[in-house]
């Protein structure tokens, strides 16, 4: 925990070159807005992958609604534009029933991005993201109905959410405009995120204030940490077509190291933002040996999602609807459905909710997939400490709908509760 906070503070410390913090109106900042004398005005104020507003970009090469906030600490150094963002959350977690558990843990994330326009008209971008999750231990934290990856390399983690790797992203992008509305781009990461699924949940405007990982994570966006990714794409106005070659194997139980890059899997995604309030995507992935505990099993994954963000006179609303399907080479099909939303009446308060349904073969020691689900409601309140820092407290309660099992029962009406405090730099 001390190491995590130290890293967070170092990456977010004030600097003489810092611009005043604001939710920048990137929609007004295209290629033509960069002809002034200051370093910030000369720097990149458009997206890394094209000439649209930077607020359209989320995790990896994914898109979100362009109207969504893109909050960060903005710095400039010569011709480079730099953005920093981070958060530390301390959680008291209690999951009920015979398969539940209680734990106090901390999760954290710090992100940095640097970009500059090159003399040939192209744009170079560098991205890095670190997490303090490994310090909570290999078994992660209790979360009823969650399953995926392993803590010991021998057995699956069930009813627990695995920690993220220390290094979540280390990536570079290069884009080249072809016209006012068209560009080609290349993304490479080790680790990075392939063109598969919606934006990773910790970057979605509809999920950012909920400290619990979605149960549907491993059907939708579990590839957001992949050790070896190369993505090539084409942007045409509000459309984006991209193809990735990447490592299909999920990260192993050793959370501080680099896993071997294999580049043995393929994904393709089509994204469309019909207006500044919407972002749509459909994607497909062919994953080679994704599970280390089932190395002979391959997977075909399909996802589709729609994300929405809009500011009204009475507050801001963000929502995401997503579905995912896995077809395994052993013949099994499993699936997930997600509907989540956040409403902010003002800068201080956030109300969030999430409804999920999954069909999983990992939850109970009986053959075949079984259905399960969960509904979560929560509330947070933040106090702004300065332009760049805020402190918040919150709580959530989850109602689980668990599959029946005589071998490993969940008990009657299992529940999950989390109380949390957090510190955010933006």
Mean pLDDT of 342-354: 97
pLDDT at 78: 86
Q: Give per-residue pLDDT as tens, 246-296.
A: 999 999 999 999 999 999 999 999 999 999 999 999 999 999 999 999 999
Check residue 259 and report its DSSP letter.
P
Selected residue with higher pLDDT from 178 and 13? 178
- How far is Cα of residue 322 from the mean position of the Cα atoms in its chain? 14
Q: Give per-residue pLDDT as tens, 120-147.
A: 889 999 999 999 999 999 999 999 999 9
Selected residue with higher pLDDT from 10 and 94? 94
- Percent of the chain whose pLDDT exceeds 90: 83
Q: Give per-residue pLDDT as tens, 306-338.
A: 999 999 999 999 999 999 999 999 888 999 999
Beta strands in 264-332 (DSSP E): 265-272, 278-287, 299-312, 315-328
Does 28 score more than 90 pLDDT? no
Please tell me the least confidently modeled range out of 154-163, 175-184, 245-254, 365-374. Answer: 365-374
pLDDT at 19: 37
- Percent of the chain whose pLDDT exceeds 70: 90
Q: What are the two backbone dihedrals, phi and then psi, of residue 106, each rounded to the nearest 5 degrees?
A: -130, 135
In this prediction, residue 405 has a pLDDT band, given cuts at 50, 70 and 90, of confident
In this prediction, residue 54 has a pLDDT band, given cuts at 50, 70 and 90, of very high
Count CB neighbours of 349 within 10 A: 15
Does 6 score more than 80 pLDDT? no
Contact between residue 259 and residue 265 where contact means Cβ atoms under 8 Å apart: no
- Cβ burial 105-125 (10 Å sphere, 16+ → b, else e): bbbbbbbbbbbbbeeeebbbb
Mean pLDDT value across the chain: 90
Please tell me the least confidently modeled range out of 34-38, 39-43, 346-350. Answer: 34-38
Question: Which residues lie closer than 8 Å to 328 by C-beta, 6 or more apart?
Answer: 297, 298, 299, 334
Selected residue with higher pLDDT from 331 and 22? 331
Count CB neighbours of 151 within 10 A: 17
In this prediction, residue 406 has a pLDDT band, given cuts at 50, 70 and 90, of confident
Q: What is the pTM of this model?
A: 0.89
Report the C-alpha gap between 267 and 62 in whole angstroms: 13
Does 106 score more than 70 pLDDT? yes
Report the C-alpha gap between 361 and 42 in whole angstroms: 53
For residue 394, give both structure tokens: 């919150």
In this prediction, residue 108 has a pLDDT band, given cuts at 50, 70 and 90, of very high
Pairing of strands 141-150, 156-161: antiparallel
| Cα distances (Å, whole numbers) of residue 102 to 94, 150, 284, 358, 400 | 4, 19, 37, 23, 16
Check residue 12 and report its DSSP letter.
H
Check residue 220 and report its DSSP letter.
H
Does 302 score more than 60 pLDDT? yes
Q: Give per-residue pLDDT as tens, 362-398.
A: 999 888 899 999 999 999 999 999 999 999 999 999 9
pLDDT at 44: 65
Question: Which residues lie closer than 8 Å to 357 by C-beta, 6 or more apart?
Answer: 336, 337, 371, 372, 373
| Cα distances (Å, whole numbers) of residue 313 to 197, 226, 317, 344, 346 | 32, 40, 11, 11, 10
């Amino acid at each position: 925990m001390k190491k995590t906070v130290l890293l967070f503070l170092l990456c977010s410390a004030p600097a003489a070159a810092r611009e005043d913090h604001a939710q920048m109106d990137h929609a007004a900042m295209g290629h033509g807005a960069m002809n002034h004398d200051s370093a910030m005005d000369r720097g990149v104020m458009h997206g890394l992958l094209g000439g649209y507003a930077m607020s359209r970009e989320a995790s990896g090469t994914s898109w979100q609604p362009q109207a969504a906030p893109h909050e960060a600490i903005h710095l400039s150094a010569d011709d480079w534009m730099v953005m920093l963002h981070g958060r530390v959350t301390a959680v008291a977690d209690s999951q009920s029933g015979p398969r539940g558990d209680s734990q106090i843990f901390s999760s954290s994330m710090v992100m940095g991005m640097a970009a500059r326009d090159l003399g040939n008209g192209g744009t170079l971008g560098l991205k890095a993201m670190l997490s303090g999750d490994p310090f909570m231990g290999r078994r992660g934290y209790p979360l009823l109905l969650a399953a995926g990856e392993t803590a010991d390399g021998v057995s699956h983690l069930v009813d627990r959410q695995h920690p993220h790797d220390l290094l979540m992203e280390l990536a570079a992008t290069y884009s080249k405009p072809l016209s006012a509305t068209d560009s080609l781009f290349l993304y490479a990461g080790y680790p990075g995120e392939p063109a598969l699924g919606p934006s990773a949940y910790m970057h979605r405007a509809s999920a950012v204030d909920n400290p619990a990982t979605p149960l549907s994570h491993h059907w939708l966006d579990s590839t957001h940490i992949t050790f070896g990714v190369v993505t090539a794409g084409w942007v045409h106005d509000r459309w984006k077509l991209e193809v990735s070659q990447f490592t299909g194997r999920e990260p192993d139980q050793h959370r501080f190291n680099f896993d071997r890059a294999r580049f043995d899997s393929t994904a393709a995604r089509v994204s469309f933002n019909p207006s500044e309030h919407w972002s749509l995507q459909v994607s497909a992935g062919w994953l080679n040996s994704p599970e280390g505990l089932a190395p002979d099993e391959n997977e075909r994954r399909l996802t589709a999602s729609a994300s929405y963000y809009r500011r009204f006179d009475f507050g801001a609303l963000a929502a995401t609807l997503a579905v995912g399907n896995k077809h395994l080479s052993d013949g099994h099909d499993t699936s997930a459905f997600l509907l989540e939303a956040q409403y902010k009446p003002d800068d201080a308060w956030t109300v969030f909710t999430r409804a999920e349904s999954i069909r999983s073969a990992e939850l109970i020691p009986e053959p075949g997939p079984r259905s399960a689900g969960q509904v979560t409601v929560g509330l947070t309140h933040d106090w702004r400490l300065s332009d760049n820092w805020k402190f918040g407290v919150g709580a959530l309660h989850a109602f689980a709908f668990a599959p029946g099992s005589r071998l490993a029962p969940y008990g009657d009406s299992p529940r999950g509760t989390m109380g949390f405090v957090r510190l955010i730099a933006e």
